Structure 1
Amino acid sequence: MPSVSYIFRQLCTHGLIEPLPEQSAVYEPTMRIQRLLREFQREQVLSTPKVLRGHLEQIETDRERLRTFGETGSQSGAIRTLERLGDEMEEIRRISRHNREAILNHVAALRAQTKGISVKDRFDVVNEMMDDHIHPLKELASTSGMAEDQFSQLDTVLGHVQKAFAHAPAVLRELLVTQARLRRVRRRVFQNFESARDEVLPLFNEQKHSTRLVRGASQLLQAVHRAGPDVLRLPERLRLLRINIRTVFDDDAMRSFLLDMRAYTPAPPDPISDHAADAPPVALPRRAELIAQIVQACPIDDVMARLVDQFADADTSHVLAAYRYVLQSNELHVSFDATPCTYPHGLYLLEAPPARVEAAELTAV
């Protein structure tokens, strides 16, 4: 089994550990190893958008190099540049994913922490997250932002280079891989930004509202402490009403009415009339009898006018029933005028186009 000193020398030789700044006896893992350990432990660290901007600027530099290699036909230079572009895009995707996961974890922890932190401190944390990450990421990930601009230009250059190296299989293979990486990173950067924004924005609005309430209540309490409760002018602002009731009834008109009601004596009711003395209601003739009367009276220019006159003392429902009998009869031919007329009957006004009625036999002849 190797000794501890041998393992320690190997770690230093391969650059896995290094001494702390201005110390020689305390060592720490290098940033590369720390990043690898965080990957294993699923610990995300928020990176500022400036880091993403640096990778996007490097993509711009490599894109112009790739354009030059396409014009000169350098296959080796194109392959090296494509590999660097792939590394940069994968790093952008990794940072974007870690930022999203870190923001989600921060928001979840902040929601779970209900004690030990004031409303103002909670709002400051969320506000810093919005200012340092969400707003800058929005500028980068928007359709007119730097990321989409660089990705769009890179996509165009990759298309031109693909035509230039149409007969170079090694370059074409690397080009296809780079184009696939480009499509994935464009999709992931936007999705990760939306996910982080949708998680932080509701919490930001909630904490902003709570902070305003707390700040307003604090200012009111300070004002009351200095100048007393009258400084709030509550009656004026709340429109408080004061009602003075002098007597049970404060309305002279109501009092006069009630006094008159005390001396009110109802009049005797009307005598009950003899039911036998009432005129018998007009009955609707049978359907066959009614149709026979109409056929005998044909032609009739306006059958509704005739029915209204014939059943002037009957119920309006009888008039409508008789009109329906006429319209549905096979022994009659009905034609309508274009302009409707109004027929008063009892308490109702019946509106219908004038209907001319003729006997069906005469019409057929």
Structure 2
Amino acid sequence: MAKGDRGAPARGKEVAGEPAPDFVQLLTPDGERIDKSVGADGVEYTIDLTDEEYRGLYRDLVVIRRLDAEATALQRQGELGIWASLLGQEAAQVGSGRALRPQDMAFPTYREHGVLYCRGIDPILPLSLYRGVDQGAWDPAEFKVNMYTIVIGAQTLHATGYAMGITKDGKVGGDDGEAVICYFGDGATSQGDVNEAFIWSSVFHAPIVFFCQNNQYAISEPIEKQTRIPLYRRADGFGFPGLRVDGNDVLATYAVTRTALDNARHGQGPTLIEAYTYRMGAHTTTDDPTRYRVASEVEEWQARDPIARVRAFVEKQQIADAAFIAEVDEQAKQEALQLRERVLAMPDPHPLTLFDHVYPNGSPVVDAQRERYAEYLDSFEGSAH
């Protein structure tokens, strides 16, 4: 076990130079371990992991960041159509992703690459979507992760309906019960779909955790232009608990999410978690964040880097040595190189495959459209489809 884990209870820390509302934190930006932290819901949170589990979380964070950087580079080189980077949000995704139990179901947006990684999904699969090779190639039933959702907030209704179905199937009420987690960003909280999902999940006591990654910007709009109160307090108006966690703290995120999911599976209804984090890069590779935020703000948040604090912690507690850090770096490098090679070797799909999976049993209308499109392709000189 880690040494020196005792510390004073924490309710909130200074974030980006401003006093933050109460949030759960178990690991400070300089890597100091806090034993207990009380959330806005009045619950006292803590975590007790083995040294191997601490090392595993560090490995996840490093590998995921390196794969994300490789994907960004591939897009810049014309190999991906677009990419939504998770840079800066690794702890929120790894902490919540590792908190899921095998039977739980996740509904992502389009940035949860870390969650997919934690659920065992091959990193090539989200990249094939962004390369335009397919519509998303993993099996939601196998990995318990729904497909990426591009429409902002739409997945919250999908997740709520799925959670209501779990209840109807009698899969709630014990340790082996199922729960749902639904991811979205701070900007999505302004969407009607999200608020409708809050209403339905509350009224029907659905076993769902709404996980909002508040990365401070809805593309170019800062959080102060989106809400007059902290986002987690919106749960009050819908009748279920809400709390804020330091989204750059993988330990706190793990502890809070595991508790909320367990509450859901035991029939205690929904919870809203606001993971207070920061998007270090652009919203997507089509965005220029220098147009709407200043460099000093980014520098302040870089001091709260989610990976740096875990590295500081495992080194201070002698959980990991220089050889382990080097091994993880090399693993991340090799996985990134392999991912690049696989992306470059990915064949382009034939244009007519666009029609293959529209309906499970086919359609005369789709067949006619396929035929007209084939004729259009044949009109080009040298066409061979």
Normalized per residue, the structure richer in helix is 1
Q: Which one has more relative contact order, counting CA pairs under 8 Å at least 6 apart?
A: 2
Is TM (by shorter chain) over 0.5?
no
Q: When the two structures are superposed, what TM-score results if normalisation uses the length of structure 1?
A: 0.19
